[in-house]
């Protein structure tokens, strides 16, 4: 009866163990599946990021190739004359022929000139039936932006022939004010065609979330996000998409990952055949990247079907391997249990002996442990003394490295602006050379040579910050120094749309200083003013120069965040900065104050009650002959 009752209990125990093994194997398989999936997703995300960088670079190159084009029309005398005399038929024909030839040579879609009221006066397609001449385009955003800020960029569908393109606009300035706007329309179809052979679908969405370029033609002019009625009415009023019906993008978000990555599902449709080199339907991982200088975003779709297959296979293999391992462990455990039962009697006989041996071993171990602790304490004291000596030597070395680090940081700080200018001038020289404007190329190369010499002088001056400068001061044009500083910072001024007001006497003021170091001071002060006005809606910079007895006073006034009492206390201290970590070194004003003191001048800053900060720079004036100082 006892044997009969043990058999069912043993069977039940085996069934329970088998079920547990099966569940554990499934659990291991699921964990392996998830781990493999996350690993493959990380790899796919890295690949997608690389694709985005490549696509963004090619798109940015395509756009920047024509960025300077509209502004060059201001150099054409006939264009400005036409804006002044729009009813001159001979002049109108000359400008139309010029634009037609220029358009054909540049490979753009069209080039046209609008007057101050937004009416097209001349166009490259003047001989075509669908010519733009006479069209009223004042409602177009690119025209409005060019009138307000000098430049405008806009992607839209043409209202005359319904051809999509990217519009680049630039204000044409007359003798007194803005006389009109030059517009160049560029096609991005060639870039879109190059996307047709990529490994994964890619699209470009504008600031409204509307797809304007896509490797999948069915996705073009679909809305990534939901558009309300007010937004659609605005599109109809501005003819941004020429009243084209904007369908919703077919993708549905399944889940969100980190860094803005999403898993989306795109259902299969009957409108396309499976002839594309990449899948257009199924499950994708989408990644986005902003296109610099625009409100557009690139979006790449990486298919994850193969990834799911790999994850499932690895999960299944992990489950099978875990099941085999658990079975082996269970068999080994059963064998070990039988051996334990067999040796139980022998172990009972050995227990007394083992207890005695254990006590002897424990006492010996205690003595050894005490010995070891004493030795460790001796070693610890020796290490502490050694560490103390090393710390003392390190403090001395750290003091030396701090001085070297400050000099190295100064080099990076002062040479940054000339390097940026060299980059701009070299790119301009390449573009001017492509246009065969060799005179301008020579001028740019001369400027580059001047900048290189200036940087050589800057590195020579750095070691003299702790003592008097080794370079001799000379009569320096203050107006030229201001113009050079403004020239180097011109891209930032234009990008921030800073209103610049320079009040300078009719007669140039000569000051007794080193011209290169004076320009560095001005660049640092203007850069700080631009940083202070980073979040200002209408940034404005005022520069006033005047002479007072033997000093020339230069005042720079910004309309930014201003200087509170705490900032004014530490304004000219080294390494004091109000910028985010990694943005500023806190050396600019300290170095500038040292330079001005070497000139025999002063540099002061104060807060303005109506907002902003005022920096006053006083430099000795030059009246002829050698001066002391």
532-580 pLDDT, tens digit per residue, is 888 888 899 999 998 887 889 999 999 888 888 777 777 777 776 766 6
Q: What distance in Å separates the CA atoms of residue 395 and residue 78, rounded to the nearest whole number?
A: 71
Q: Which residues of 99-138 are buried (b: 16+ CB within 10 A; e: fewer)?
A: bbebbeeeebbbbbbbbbebbbbbbbbbeeeebbbebebe
What was the pLDDT predicted at 507?
84
Q: Quick one: 475 and 597 in the same domain? A: yes
Measured in Å, how far apart are the chain's first and last C-alpha atoms? 119
- The runs of H, that is alpha helices, within 107-188 are 141-149
| Tokens matching residue 243 | 């009243």
SS (H, E, C) 589-621: HHHHHHHHHHHCCEEEEEECCCCCEEEEEEEEE
- pLDDT average, residue stretch 280-295: 80
Model pLDDT for residues 193-243, shown as the tens digit of each residue = 767 666 778 888 887 878 878 778 778 778 877 877 777 777 776 666 766
Q: Quick one: 459 and 475 in the same domain? A: no
- pLDDT average, residue stretch 88-110: 90
- Taking every pair of C-alpha atoms in the chain, what is the biggest distance, in angstroms? 129
Element of type H or E holding 114: strand 110-115
605, part of any domain: yes
Backbone torsions φ then ψ of 235, nearest 5 degrees: -60, -40
Domain count, the chain: 3
Q: Quick one: 514 and 613 in the same domain? A: yes
| Tokens matching residue 614 | 């005022």
Q: Quick one: 458 and 474 in the same domain? A: no
What was the pLDDT predicted at 316?
75
Q: Quick one: 458 and 476 in the same domain? A: no
Q: Quick one: 408 and 503 in the same domain? A: no
- pLDDT bin (cut points 50, 70, 90) of residue 404 is very low
CATH (domain of 510): 3.30.565.10
278, part of any domain: no
- pLDDT bin (cut points 50, 70, 90) of residue 400 is very low
CATH (domain of 81): 3.30.450.20
What was the pLDDT predicted at 198?
67
Q: Quick one: 547 and 567 in the same domain? A: yes
- pLDDT average, residue stretch 253-275: 71
Q: Quick one: 385 and 483 in the same domain? A: no
**Domain limit, last residue, from 166, 187, 208:** 187
Model pLDDT for residues 332-362, shown as the tens digit of each residue = 887 888 888 888 867 777 887 888 888 888 8
**Domain limit, last residue, from 161, 187, 213:** 187
For Cα atoms 464, 406, 462, give the angle at the middle one, nearest 5 degrees: 25
What was the pLDDT predicted at 183?
93
137, part of any domain: yes
Q: Quick one: 534 and 404 in the same domain? A: no
Q: What distance in Å separates the CA atoms of residue 73 and residue 138, rounded to the nearest whole number?
A: 20
Judged against a pLDDT cut of 90, whether residue 123 lies above it is answered with yes
205, part of any domain: no
Q: Quick one: 520 and 415 in the same domain? A: no
Q: Quick one: 446 and 489 in the same domain? A: no
* Domain containing residue 405: 373-463
Q: What distance in Å separates the CA atoms of residue 168 and residue 165, rounded to the nearest whole number?
A: 10
290, part of any domain: no
99, part of any domain: yes
Model pLDDT for residues 437-491, shown as the tens digit of each residue = 888 888 888 888 887 887 775 555 444 334 444 456 888 888 988 888 887 777 7
Q: What is the pTM of this model?
A: 0.42
Q: Quick one: 494 and 612 in the same domain? A: yes
Q: What percent of the chain has pLDDT over 90?
A: 9
404, part of any domain: yes
Beta strands in 194-239 (DSSP E): 202-205, 211-214, 222-223
Judged against a pLDDT cut of 60, whether residue 521 lies above it is answered with yes
The count of other CB atoms within 10 Å of the CB of residue 242 is: 17
**Domain limit, last residue, from 156, 187, 218:** 187
Q: Are strands 247-248 and 222-223 parallel, antiparallel or unpaired?
A: parallel
DSSP 3-state percent helix, strand, coil across the chain (nearest 5): 55, 20, 25
474, part of any domain: yes
């Amino acid at each position: 009866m006892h044997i009969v009752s043990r058999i069912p209990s043993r069977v039940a125990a085996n069934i329970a163990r088998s079920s547990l093994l099966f569940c554990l194997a499934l659990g291991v398989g699921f964990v392996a599946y998830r781990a493999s999936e996350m690993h493959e997703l990380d790899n796919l995300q890295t690949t997608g990021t690389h694709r985005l960088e490549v696509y963004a670079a090619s798109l940015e190159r395509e756009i920047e190739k024509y960025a300077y084009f509209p502004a060059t029309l201001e150099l054409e005398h006939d264009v400005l004359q036409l804006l002044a005399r729009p009813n001159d038929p001979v002049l109108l024909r000359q400008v139309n022929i010029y634009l037609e030839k220029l358009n054909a040579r540049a490979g753009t879609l069209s080039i046209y000139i609008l007057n101050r009221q937004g009416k097209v006066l001349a166009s490259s397609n003047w001989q075509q039936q669908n010519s733009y001449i006479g069209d009223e385009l004042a409602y177009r955003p690119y025209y409005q932006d060019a009138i307000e800020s000098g430049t405008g960029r806009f992607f839209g569908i043409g209202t005359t022939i319904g051809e999509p393109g990217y519009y680049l606009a630039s204000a044409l300035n007359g003798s007194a004010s803005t006389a009109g706007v030059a517009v160049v329309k560029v096609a991005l179809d060639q870039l879109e065609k190059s996307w047709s052979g990529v490994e994964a679908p890619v699209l470009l969405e504008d600031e409204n979330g509307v797809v304007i370029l896509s490797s999948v033609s069915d996705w073009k002019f679909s809305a990534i996000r939901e558009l309300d009625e007010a937004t659609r009415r605005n599109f109809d009023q501005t003819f941004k998409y020429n009243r084209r019906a904007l369908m919703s993008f077919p993708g549905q978000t399944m889940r969100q990952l980190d860094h803005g990555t999403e898993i989306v599902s795109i259902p299969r449709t009957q409108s396309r055949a499976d002839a594309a080199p990449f899948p257009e339907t199924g499950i994708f991982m989408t990644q986005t990247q902003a296109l610099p200088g625009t409100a557009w975003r690139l979006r790449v779709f990486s298919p994850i079907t193969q990834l799911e297959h790999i994850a499932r296979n690895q999960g299944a293999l992990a489950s099978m391997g875990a099941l085999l391992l658990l079975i082996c462990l269970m068999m080994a455990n059963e064998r070990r249990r039988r051996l334990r039962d067999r040796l139980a009697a022998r172990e009972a006989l050995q227990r007394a002996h083992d207890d005695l041996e254990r006590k002897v071993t424990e006492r010996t171990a205690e003595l050894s442990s005490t010995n070891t602790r004493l030795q460790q304490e001796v070693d610890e004291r020796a290490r502490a003394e050694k560490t103390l000596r090393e710390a003392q030597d390190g403090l001395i070395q750290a003091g030396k490295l701090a001085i070297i680090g400050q000099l190295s940081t100064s080099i990076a700080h002062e040479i940054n602006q000339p390097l940026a200018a060299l980059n701009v001038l070299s790119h301009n020289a390449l573009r001017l050379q492509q246009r065969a404007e060799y005179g301008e190329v020579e001028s740019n190369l001369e400027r580059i040579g001047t900048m290189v010499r200036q940087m050589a002088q800057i590195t020579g001056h750095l070691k003299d910050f702790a003592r008097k400068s080794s370079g001799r001061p000379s009569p320096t044009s203050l107006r030229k120094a201001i113009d050079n500083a403004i020239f180097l910072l011109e891209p930032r001024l234009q990008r921030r749309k800073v209103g610049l007001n320079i009040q300078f006497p009719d007669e140039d003021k000569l000051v007794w200083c080193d011209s290169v170091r004076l320009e560095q001071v001005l660049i640092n002060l203007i850069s700080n003013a631009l940083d202070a006005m980073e979040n200002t809606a209408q940034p404005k910079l005022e520069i006033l120069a005047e002479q007072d007895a033997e000093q020339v006073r230069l005042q720079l006034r910004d309309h930014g965040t201003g200087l509170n009492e705490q900032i004014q206390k530490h304004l000219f201290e080294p390494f004091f900065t109000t910028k985010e970590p990694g943005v500023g070194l806190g050396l600019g004003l300290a170095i500038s104050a040292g330079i001005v003191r070497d000139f025999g001048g002063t540099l002061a800053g104060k807060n303005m009650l109506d907002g902003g900060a005022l920096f006053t720079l006083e430099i000795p004036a030059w009246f002829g002959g050698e001066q002391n100082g």
